[in-house]
Every structure is written in C-alpha cells, then in structure tokens.
Chain A
Amino acid sequence: ETGVTQTPRHLVMGMTNKKSLKCEQHLGHNAMYWYKQSAKKPLELMFVYNFKEQTENNSVPSRFSPECPNSSHLFLHLHTLQPEDSALYLCASSQEISGVHEQFFGPGTRLTVL
C-alpha cells in the first residue's frame, strides 16, 4: 500500500449503530487529519493530530470520537449519528518541511446515515 488509505470506502449505518472509520498513512508523516465533506459546503476540518497528540478539535459533536494510537493510524469512532452526518469523510497526513505542511489525502469513506 502507498500513500494514504481509508477503510471502508462506503458505509451505511443506522442512527443507533456504532462503527469506526480507519485511516492509515504509509508516508512516514507525523500529522494526521480528519475532514468532513458535505455537498455544497466547504471542507470542514474536524480533528488534527501531531505526533499522536490531538492539537485541534473544531467543535465537533461528541458522537464523533477520534483515536490516534500511533503516527501511522487514525480512527474515527461513530455512534448515534444523525442523517445530517452523511458525508464523505477524508483523512489526510502531512510532514512539515521548511515550515510547509503539504497534506496528502486518502480516497475517503462515503458515509450514509439512515
């Protein structure tokens, strides 16, 4: 595997289900991100991890719970979601080079909440 991978690619869940999204980066980066991409809205940054420590949480509801066990893996645990949470969830990673963080994105997980 190369780059940033995400599983599953598609997920359909009911509002009472609990599921997890997985992201893995094979680039040796030290920062990882979760984004939400909804139709007709800008990309929304959800969480940022630097060296496994959460450095940013953009007022995300507690029904989304991130986990970063090491610098290569990032999870997003989902529970009691709402239909408006249906979106494409993108994971990204980066490594600072001369002050620049160029982010590399995974293909995303298309989530549908029924």
Chain B
Amino acid sequence: AQSVTQLGSHVSVSEGALVLLRCNYSSSVPPYLFWYVQYPNQGLQLLLKYTSAATLVKGINGFEAEFKKSETSFHLTKPSAHMSDAAEYFCAVSGRGYSTLTFGKGTMLLVSP
C-alpha cells in the first residue's frame, strides 16, 4: 500500500522568497516519487521525478527535490519564487513496475509581489 501526505493545503510566499512544499510518503516497496504542477484550467505537468538514482533531483523551472529515505520525505524547493510559480502542486508515489500513481491532496502555492 502507498500513500502521500502533503502538509499545508496552501502556502504563501513573497516573490523572491524560498519556496518549500512538503511531501511525506508511505510505501511497501522502494518508491518512485513525482512532483506535478497544475495551472488553472489545465492538466498536470511533471516537474521532476525520483527513480532511485541521485537523491537530489532537479526539475524544470528551477525546482528541485531531495529524497530522504530516513524521513520518508520528498520536499520540493525553489530558491526564489516567481509570480508565474503560483499554481497547485501535487506529490505522487509509485513503485517499480507499478503503472498507477497515488497522489497527495495538493498544495496551492500563492506568490505575492
């Protein structure tokens, strides 16, 4: 069984500030982990993924995430927020050979000028 917990349904930051979106997972198999972003009225777009190679994963738009097995975490960060980062972010977990993803409830990122 797999599950994902995203702490905070909303996170607010100022433009230029650090972005930190939290994700903790539970998995009975070695996990594969994903972060997706969803802009209003659009589908989900993959930001980055962890598939058991490097624990620090770099994605698009300056985002990165670090897999920490001891903490069962995969938090998403960006050093400096832009207004265009305002969107909803979803963390998801899967496993080797599993075609299905289990998603968290999502975190809405709000960026103020």
Q: Interface segment, A12-20, A67-75, A76-84, A105-113?
A: A105-113
Tell me what chain B mostly uses at the interface: helix, strand, loop, or mixed.
loop
Chain A residues in the interface with B (C-beta under 8 A): 4, 6, 31, 33, 40-43, 45, 48, 50, 55-56, 90, 92, 94, 96, 98-108, 110
> How distant is the Cα of A49 from the Cα of B102 in the complex, in angstroms?
16
Nearest 5 A-B pairs (CB), nearest first? A105-B43, A99-B96, A43-B103, A105-B44, A101-B99
Complex: chain B residue closest to A104, CB-CB: B46
Q: With an 8 A cutoff between CB atoms, is B77 at the interface? A: no
Partner of B45, one of A41, A56, A105, A110: A105
Known: A42-B104, A43-B90, A43-B103. A101 touches B41 (CB 8 A): no
A100 engages B106 (CB within 8 Å): no
Output the least CB separation between A3 and chain B (Å). Answer: 9
Residues in A neighbouring B101, C-beta threshold 8 A: 45, 101, 103
Residues in B neighbouring A98, C-beta threshold 8 A: 51
Output the least CB separation between A95 and chain B (Å). Answer: 10
